[in-house]
Structure 1
Amino acid sequence: MKDSSELAILGGTPAFTNQLYVGRPNIGDRSAFMGRVNDILDRRWLTNNGICVQEFERRLEALLGVKHCIAMCNATVALEITIRALGMTGEVIVPSFTFVATPHSLQWQQITPVFCDIDPETHSIDPRRVESLITPRTTGIIGVHLWGKPCAIEALTEIAHRRNLRMLFDAAHAFGCSHNGRMIGSFGDAEVFSFHATKFFNTFEGGAVATNDDELAARIRLMKNFGFAGYDTVVYIGTNGKMSEISAAMGLTSLEHLEEFIAINRRNYAAYASGLADLPGVRLVPLEGTDRYNYQYVVIEINEQAAGIHRDALLQALHAENIMARRYFYPGCHRMEPYRSYFPNAGLLLPETELLVQRVLSLPTGTAVTEEDIINICAIIRLVLENGVKVAKVLA
């Protein structure tokens, strides 16, 4: 274990030779995956709703308990297509504390994202603030399930039903999670998942739309394939959102290791909880109760006043040790272009978001991180906080 003079930020040697990342891809059984790849090559059917994609969709539907799960090339395109299929126009209410793809999927289609503040306890959109943002131009709400924790599903859905709005959930973080015993994927008009390489469950690149609405599913299937309803028959405007066979093969292989990946994430989360316990100014985002979580993200909040150091100083100190922690979702979508130009005063209406983007830190986890790594990471965090004045002086 290091002492203060050995911290890399103070001139010592980094604790880790290789960098530890928040989202280094999980890899399942390579031989099983390569077997599927060889089958794909033998069939010479590489895309256009092949056998692997069809099987992948069936298995997702069974896992999520939904009537329809439509595989896509990525979650951003899945959001764009679903938004259009739902008939959203005008304005849609979204959190600013999310990945920028969420508002981009609206703005890309000339729909105005109206940023709503978050609940500081859950980090998700605050339904108590949604109602005041509804105007005659509002057509929908997008709730985001952050860190694998469901957002306020019932409250948001009630508002949407009462105000005749579409209800879409961005479930990019929440694959394999549940809410009140029901799997995420079956709520709202539809839910969109991300299977990007950085997610604990990946298809290289990919995503999916889950819904129990037959008509909506039919529209999405048309729209993801240029509007083709049969050979040489186009009946709807569409684009290319199809998942390839190679991505579906990775998805099928990852599904076979889903519980293993979650178990490792759970172990890592518990190790962080133990290592960071009673550390002043550090709050580990809780994952409690009987619901199912994927433990994909280990997220802490740094209270500068109590910790004696700003989150960004801790971040730099960790990076110096090759611990590649991340600031999610800094600086908030409302402070990114084009939104900061469109809505220069948005921050005045988002005080909790403004505070949270200065405090949140996501720590390395996944199959590439060991319990011993986590013990060392926690010890370094503790040491940095104990020497906050020295670290701040060096950085200044």
Structure 2
Amino acid sequence: MTLISDNLKTKIEDLAIFGGKPLFSEKQHVGRPNLGDRTQFLNRINDMLDLNWLTNRGPFVKEFEQKIADYLGVKHCVSVCNATIALELAIRALELTGEVIIPSFTFIATAHALQWQEITPVFCDIDPITHTIDPDKIESMITPRTTGIIGVHVWGQPCNIEALTTIAKKHNLKLMFDAAHAMGCSYQGKMIGSFGDAEVLSFHATKFLNSFEGGAIVTNNDELAEKLILMENFGFSGLDNVIYIGTNGKMSEVCAAMGLTSLESINEFIEINHQNYQCYQQELKDIKGIKLFTYNQQEQCNYQYIVLEIDEEITNISRDKFVDILTAENIIARRYFYPGCHRMQPYKSYFPHAGLLLPETEKLSNKVMLLPTGVNMNPDKIIKITDLIKFILDNTCSIANKDNK
């Protein structure tokens, strides 16, 4: 039993943070794994064990790559053990060096994948509406050492791909995308995955479509794909024949089996996410100081994130206090991407004044809060969460007074 019945909040002493019973008996996570058909997955595991082929580009990996490529309408999909390795391989395969421009409002792996290879991430500010890198701020950051741009499709919201492509071509820069959030999303009617020189996908357990752990690089560039296949397997081209420098980035057969099973349920996962999003949208509309990130209904979207911006000046309660209160109720709300890559090490030491150039990133990283969604959520749970949010907003002064005692 997940819900605790008869636990409506009627006074602030009912809040779990002040000693009341939590609204949920089990933690409600932002990224609790979605599971496909268990029987189908176990059938694949039995087939894998019967075949006795566990890794090294087995039949499930090849099938998974082909089905991802077909789904996205892209020529090549190279699966890897996780999306961080995918970023590192794509960066190296594209021969990026010197400086690469990225947003600071992203998961730290985007920056680390560059710095790990002694490439300097140059942090660019974001568009406050789309939450993605602002093309208007990029050209002023280009130097003679700049070799590329990495756009990040945040929440599945595509970057302004057209503008980034124009800038990259104008300055002869490589362009790739961190599409970890964007599996199943589209831009101008075309699926994310085939833009730029390459795009990187994540199939981590917390993503709406998972392979336990995994990632992929997708591209229409034949030469790049050939290079990536070599790089993910130590540079081997056939038996005992190493022709390129590489590492061990291969996806295992068990992960590919999970990925295939997830892919078979992708439409169901997206539909549930969409229903959850619509429920949150209905319940949180017209609430001052609370802004729900909205998705473009003209495009395909995975709706895997429920993103709120909390305006403390209007609500009289900080985003962080909101997170603390919800967490005590077993609603594991999350701050993303707090505090921004530029405020994490080693970048905080390298670029101590970066925040001055990133005002929108600074504002957003202190406003954003993510709420639970996925197949484990339903309208009853969502209404309990949104009713609690309304209760908190109605009692901000009382909460502040009790905190100060």
Structure 2 length-normalised TM? 0.97
Which residue does 2:136 correspond to in 1? 128
Q: Following TM superposition, by how much is the alpha carbon of 1:51 offset from its aligned partner in structure 2, in angstroms?
A: 0.3
Q: Following TM superposition, by how much is the alpha carbon of 1:394 offset from its aligned partner in structure 2, in angstroms?
A: 3.5
Structure 1: 5+ residue stretches without partners: none
- Note the alpha carbon deviations across 1:76-105, whole angstroms, 9 max, x for none: 000000000001000000000000000000
Q: How do residues 189-338 of structure 1 correspond to structure 2 at under 5 angstroms? A: 189-338=197-346
Which residue does 2:126 correspond to in 1? 118
Moved more, 299-308 or 166-175: 299-308
Letter in 2 for 1:239: T
Indicate which of 1, 5, 10 corresponds to 1:3.
10
SS of the residue aligned with 1:42?
A: helix
Letter in 2 for 1:46: L
Q: Following TM superposition, by how much is the alpha carbon of 1:48 offset from its aligned partner in structure 2, in angstroms?
A: 0.4
Indicate which of 100, 106, 114 corresponds to 1:98.
106
Equivalents in 1 of 2:295, 2:237: separation in Å? 44
Q: Following TM superposition, by how much is the alpha carbon of 1:391 offset from its aligned partner in structure 2, in angstroms?
A: 2.0
Letter in 1 for 2:61: V
Equivalents in 2 of 1:359, 1:23: separation in Å? 19
Matched, 1:25 2:33: yes
Which residue does 1:68 correspond to in 2? 76
Q: Following TM superposition, by how much is the alpha carbon of 1:11 offset from its aligned partner in structure 2, in angstroms?
A: 2.8
Letter in 2 for 1:105: A
Letter in 1 for 2:280: Y
Equivalents in 1 of 2:108, 2:397: separation in Å? 34
Indicate which of 81, 94, 100 corresponds to 1:86.
94
Give yes or no for contact 1:10–1:391 (8 Å, CA) kept in 2. no
Equivalents in 2 of 1:393, 1:143: separation in Å? 44
Which residue does 1:386 correspond to in 2? 394
SS of the residue aligned with 1:229?
A: coil
Indicate which of 165, 173, 184 corresponds to 2:181.
173
SS of the residue aligned with 1:270?
A: helix
- What is the percent sequence identity of the aligned residues? 61
SS of the residue aligned with 1:70?
A: strand
Give yes or no for contact 1:283–1:302 (8 Å, CA) kept in 2. yes
Q: Following TM superposition, by how much is the alpha carbon of 1:389 offset from its aligned partner in structure 2, in angstroms?
A: 1.6
Letter in 1 for 2:355: G
Equivalents in 2 of 1:139, 1:329: separation in Å? 25
CA pair 310-76 structure 1, distance change in 2 beyond 3 A? same
Equivalents in 2 of 1:384, 1:274: separation in Å? 18
Q: Following TM superposition, by how much is the alpha carbon of 1:290 offset from its aligned partner in structure 2, in angstroms?
A: 1.1
Letter in 1 for 2:396: G
Give yes or no for contact 1:75–1:194 (8 Å, CA) kept in 2. yes
Which residue does 1:108 correspond to in 2? 116
Q: Following TM superposition, by how much is the alpha carbon of 1:288 offset from its aligned partner in structure 2, in angstroms?
A: 2.2
Give yes or no for contact 1:9–1:391 (8 Å, CA) kept in 2. no
Equivalents in 1 of 2:403, 2:223: separation in Å? 57
Equivalents in 1 of 2:240, 2:400: separation in Å? 65
Q: Following TM superposition, by how much is the alpha carbon of 1:2 offset from its aligned partner in structure 2, in angstroms?
A: 1.9
Which residue does 2:4 correspond to in 1? none
Equivalents in 2 of 1:305, 1:239: separation in Å? 50
- Note the alpha carbon deviations across 1:147-173, whole angstroms, 9 max, x for none: 011011010111001100000000000
Q: Following TM superposition, by how much is the alpha carbon of 1:320 offset from its aligned partner in structure 2, in angstroms?
A: 1.2
Moved more, 171-180 or 1-10: 1-10
SS of the residue aligned with 1:306?
A: helix
- Note the alpha carbon deviations across 1:14-51, whole angstroms, 9 max, x for none: 11010100000001111100000011111111000000
Give me the CA root mean square deviation.
Answer: 0.8
Matched, 1:367 2:372: no
Give yes or no for contact 1:313–1:392 (8 Å, CA) kept in 2. no
SS of the residue aligned with 1:228?
A: coil
Equivalents in 1 of 2:317, 2:288: separation in Å? 11
SS of the residue aligned with 1:272?
A: helix
- Note the alpha carbon deviations across 1:337-388, whole angstroms, 9 max, x for none: 0000111111111111111111000000001112100000000011111111
Equivalents in 1 of 2:294, 2:106: separation in Å? 19
Q: Following TM superposition, by how much is the alpha carbon of 1:8 offset from its aligned partner in structure 2, in angstroms?
A: 1.8
Count how many residue pairs are aligned between Structure 1 and Structure 2.
396
